Amino acid sequence: MDWKKGILNQIQRTHKCCFEMSHIETQKKNEFLMHLSDIIEKKTDIIIKENQKDVRKCEKQNYSQAFIDRLLLTESRIRKMSSSLVNIAKLDDPVGTVIRETTRPNGLLIKKVRVPIGVIAIIYESRPDVTIEAASLCIKSGNCVILRGGKEAVFSNSILVECIKEALYLAHMSPDAVNLVKTGGRMGVKYLLSLNNLIDLVIPRGGESLIKTVVSISTIPVIKHYKGVCHIYVDKEADIEMALNVCLNAKIQRPGTCNAVEKLLVHKDIAKIFLPRMAELFVENNVEIRGCPETMKIIDSAKPASEDDWYEEYLDLIISIKIVEDVNEAIAHINKYGTKHSDAIITDNNSYAGKFLEEVDSACVYHNASTRFTDGGEFGLGAEIGISTDKIHARGPMALEELTIYKYVIYGNGQTRT
């Protein structure tokens, strides 16, 4: 099949760059990032024009507004991408960092040193900004990258990869260090995931069905970015004004993202005071409310929440609300229905906060802050390649350090084992 030969050729070319990329000096990596920042700023109009082709196509096919928002590139979003590249250039290069060093009684000096992973395949859906994030972080951490974006963003991803290859060339690095696979459809993805001799790691970013599909068929190790069923628990000792502001921000600031709040848990003692005001703000901002029976007694406009609602990631202006007995019930609910992504407690009681932060089993737990901060840039990591909900070496926002692995380097002077 021609598409299969094409994919294999692309990945082989990328694989050949591995040794060179793993030894590229930091200065050249940063030159690439600065060139890319300049290029996407200068080509903003062209990028937006190509992006609009994707947007119009998806609008004609009646994709949701939240989906369109994830797809859309604007001048401000492109400026943010450009700025993130500058920030990544300022970050320390993790490659070569000594994690730990020890001298054994026999005189062996053992160092645990960060090294690149190799070839990383990123499989993602509608967000073209992932193209820039993935390439920039992989190159800065000494990796090569295979990009497989969704068909919904093919024009956007293509122009962005053109910019990336131009920046690699200007920095005197191989343009094949980054390649975009566009052919083969679903069979192309399945074939890509079989090339475990050429690809070292797969990171899927997208809906639950995409990630489950990748995990089920991949012969390559996968770091999962599962859905974000994020919760906020408003405790009986919460500051009401703070709770209103934080909950509204976490839901409406950008509802189509994985760190937007999807479920609101409210202590029974504060529900009659807090929920009418919260509901008013949600209704003003076109948020559909689904609630437990007790919530529906307080909020007339609430629809009944089903059992499935507590598991669902809406990625839209919808929220489910449950009234709970106390912090213990809130924690139990989150650990049952949550996805180990991001969860928050709003309270002035430090004892309750400490219990929540310790016992909620999520990658990111918050006290008195919006879940929307789960983001590589917001964490000072420059950017991220995804939010890992796995319990492996990478958990939470995956940035430069999480895109490296380590090896042991041992220095001796003739030691032999007896």
Token code pair at residue 70: 């994830």
Could you tell me if 247 and 184 lie in one domain? no
| CA pair distance 325, 262, nearest whole angstrom | 20
Q: What is the CATH number of the domain that holds 277?
A: 3.40.309.10
Residue 186 lies in a domain: yes
Q: What is the CATH number of the domain that holds 110?
A: 3.40.605.10
| CA pair distance 346, 348, nearest whole angstrom | 7
Which pLDDT band, with edges at 50, 70 and 90, does 294 fall under?
very high
Three-state DSSP state, 339: coil
Could you tell me if 214 and 171 lie in one domain? yes
pTM listed for this prediction: 0.81
Could you tell me if 137 and 286 lie in one domain? no
Q: Which amino acid is at 207?
A: G
Query: pLDDT at position 1, please?
Result: 61
Count of domains for the chain: 2
Longest dimension (CA), the chain: 80
Give the Å distances, CA to CA, from 398 to 65, 132, 306, 384, 385: 27, 15, 33, 5, 6
Domain hosting 299: range is 230-373
DSSP annotation of 305: P
Q: Which of 299, 262, 304, 261 is nearest to 278 (CA)?
A: 299
Residue 315 lies in a domain: yes
Could you tell me if 126 and 94 lie in one domain? yes
265 near 236, Cβ under 8 Å? no
Could you tell me if 177 and 65 lie in one domain? yes
* Residue 350 clears pLDDT 80, i.e. is over it: yes
Could you tell me if 219 and 238 lie in one domain? no
Q: In this structure, what is the dihedral angle of CA atoms 292, 297, 300, 305, given to the nearest 10 degrees? A: 10
| CA pair distance 175, 139, nearest whole angstrom | 11
| CA pair distance 124, 265, nearest whole angstrom | 31
* Residue 392 clears pLDDT 80, i.e. is over it: no
Token code pair at residue 231: 């919760």
Q: Which of 63, 44, 36 is nearest to 150 (CA)?
A: 63
Query: pLDDT at position 227, please?
Result: 81
Strand 342-346 versus strand 119-124 pairing type: unpaired
Q: For residue range 325-334, what is the model confidence (pLDDT) as tens digits?
A: 999 999 999 9
Residue 382 lies in a domain: no
Could you tell me if 43 and 103 lie in one domain? yes
Q: For residue range 116-170, what is the model confidence (pLDDT) as tens digits?
A: 999 999 999 888 999 999 999 999 999 999 999 999 999 999 999 999 999 999 9
DSSP letters for 316-359: SSEEEEEEESSHHHHHHHHHHH--SSEEEEE-S-HHHHHHHHHH
Residue 381 lies in a domain: no
Query: Can you give the C-alpha Rg of the chain in angstroms?
Result: 23
Alpha carbon 87 to chain centroid distance? 18
Token code pair at residue 294: 């007790």
| CA pair distance 124, 385, nearest whole angstrom | 11
Could you tell me if 84 and 181 lie in one domain? yes
| CA pair distance 298, 263, nearest whole angstrom | 17
- Total residues belonging to the chain: 418
Could you tell me if 302 and 368 lie in one domain? yes
Could you tell me if 136 and 175 lie in one domain? yes
Residue 416 lies in a domain: no
Residue 249 lies in a domain: yes
Residue 389 lies in a domain: no
Three-state DSSP state, 264: strand
Residue 321 lies in a domain: yes
259 near 279, Cβ under 8 Å? no
Q: For residue range 205-251, what is the model confidence (pLDDT) as tens digits?
A: 877 788 889 999 999 999 877 789 999 999 999 999 999 999 999 99
Could you tell me if 41 and 136 lie in one domain? yes
Q: For residue range 176-198, what is the model confidence (pLDDT) as tens digits?
A: 999 999 988 889 999 999 999 99
Q: For residue range 45-90, what is the model confidence (pLDDT) as tens digits?
A: 999 999 999 999 999 999 988 789 889 999 999 999 999 999 999 9
Could you tell me if 188 and 241 lie in one domain? no
Which pLDDT band, with edges at 50, 70 and 90, does 289 fall under?
very high
Q: What is the mean pLDDT of the chain?
A: 94
